[in-house]
Structure 1
């Protein structure tokens, strides 16, 4: 077990080579309560700094990816002085820890991904869905209106509004058609598909993958000109690292590279 992750109650972590498999285990529906979010923030911070982990696969135990926020906590949160502000900061941090994790995160959406569960899938780097899985933003059913900005990152303006205004379920094949998912496969092939992507990422130069993820995060709202300039600075810095030199040497010598993370 990786140090710092021994006492998890809402998650299980397994290591397969250079891939960390993170499973949400807050059954029956992997609802996101305060403990869930606190563990998630710690988990991604630890895995992000673990040198042997090069990619992360996130999925849900049981039949659900995540049914979203645990609404039973809301009355307690509202009753605490300043409780709503603290709660909102925790929710943002729980999503940001995935967005900002240095390692690519592949969401293997095995079932319902609702509300905060939908957003959790969409803040991952790559989304793979089962044909029978669905995403839904049901906030309007409960007098809420969260998630709009995250939905707009992954769906067209029309599809984002359709999803938010109607709270309808969007199933795997339509998520793939809408370009919200990179692959849609039968449920029994879901983890194989996600793991194949993760293992492929794990064969690449780790520092280069980390730099690429950093570029995605920082350049998303930059102009094309400024974004490309930033990317060029990253490439220039990588050129001086041992791993980049090793990758080029291995290519010349027709052998498998050995990366050291520096």
Structure 2
């Protein structure tokens, strides 16, 4: 049993884990939250009872970004920024590298690091009342460009970064950065529904698909497709794939064992 969390909650039901940021009033990201996000997603990566993950937050804010009261002291603490930056990268990497698909249910504002955290998910759902913003230029900082470029077109990405404008839920849907835009009170249920739908598929195949997204994102088409084919070859001899084929032929629900 894992140690209880202080800045988030973790619940699992029907093979779907729900990670809820819980640091009132606006879920600002401090050292403890960074460490706990990494720990939670590393744990979920290895748990056999988890096949999909929903990432959301308590309250009306998703995540207000870094807690500015904990900014590293460059002058008085040598090495503070490298440590801070390394852990910040680990937060985002833990979500992107989690072997299970992650569905972000963005229930409110996501600013700076909170915006990037949402953009690290595999599937993004946004509340109509929510917005994402990168406000670094307002406080003399810069960051998040590469993550923003993964989801927004060139012009929209620059508009977000250069102006620090708020991109609302409907904006994000129109720009193709979100799959669905829903009323806040319907958001979590829909995210968990998608999670259960994913959980009903062949687990090893879903994990292989996520790995293909990770590995081939910046590959040329030919090399990327060759990698995907190698994943299919490896899956063909697994027990779960054989079970999926048998269940399809016998018109019954498959029983997967994760091997």
TM tier, smaller: over 0.9
Q: CA 1:222–1:117 in 2, change beyond 3 Å: closer, same or farther?
A: same
Check whether the contact 1:24–1:61 (CA below 8 A) recurs between aligned residues. Answer: yes
In structure 1, the partner of 2:133 is: 136
1:51 matched to 2:48? The reply is yes
When the two structures are superposed, what TM-score results if normalisation uses the length of structure 1? 0.97
Q: 1:34: Cα distance to partner?
A: 1.0
1:34 matched to 2:31? The reply is yes
Report Cα offsets for 1:207-259 as digits up to 9, x if no partner. 00000000100100110000000000000000010000000000000000000
Count matched residues. Answer: 259
Match of 1:90 among 81, 87, 90: 87
In structure 2, the partner of 1:155 is: 152
In structure 1, the partner of 2:236 is: 239
Equivalent residues in 2 for 1:181-220, closer than 5 Å: 181-220=178-217
Which structure 2 residue ranges, 5 or more long, are not aligned?
A: none
When the two structures are superposed, what TM-score results if normalisation uses the length of structure 2? 0.98
In structure 1, the partner of 2:22 is: 25
In structure 1, the partner of 2:57 is: 60
Counterpart CA distance in 2 for 1:44 and 1:185 is 26
In structure 2, the partner of 1:261 is: 258
Q: CA 1:78–1:246 in 2, change beyond 3 Å: closer, same or farther?
A: farther
Q: 1:80: Cα distance to partner?
A: 1.9
Q: 1:35: Cα distance to partner?
A: 0.9
Q: Which moved more, 1:190-199 or 1:230-239?
A: 190-199
Q: 1:28: Cα distance to partner?
A: 0.7
Q: Which secondary structure does the structure 2 equivalent of 1:14 belong to?
A: strand
Q: Which secondary structure does the structure 1 equivalent of 2:94 belong to?
A: helix
Q: Which moved more, 1:185-194 or 1:204-213?
A: 185-194
In structure 1, the partner of 2:67 is: 70
Q: Which secondary structure does the structure 1 equivalent of 2:71 belong to?
A: helix
1:170 matched to 2:194? The reply is no
Check whether the contact 1:77–1:87 (CA below 8 A) recurs between aligned residues. Answer: no
Q: 1:7: Cα distance to partner?
A: 2.3
**4+ long deviations beyond 6 Å:** none
RMSD, aligned CA: 0.9
Check whether the contact 2:30–2:70 (CA below 8 A) recurs between aligned residues. Answer: yes
Q: 1:76: Cα distance to partner?
A: 4.3
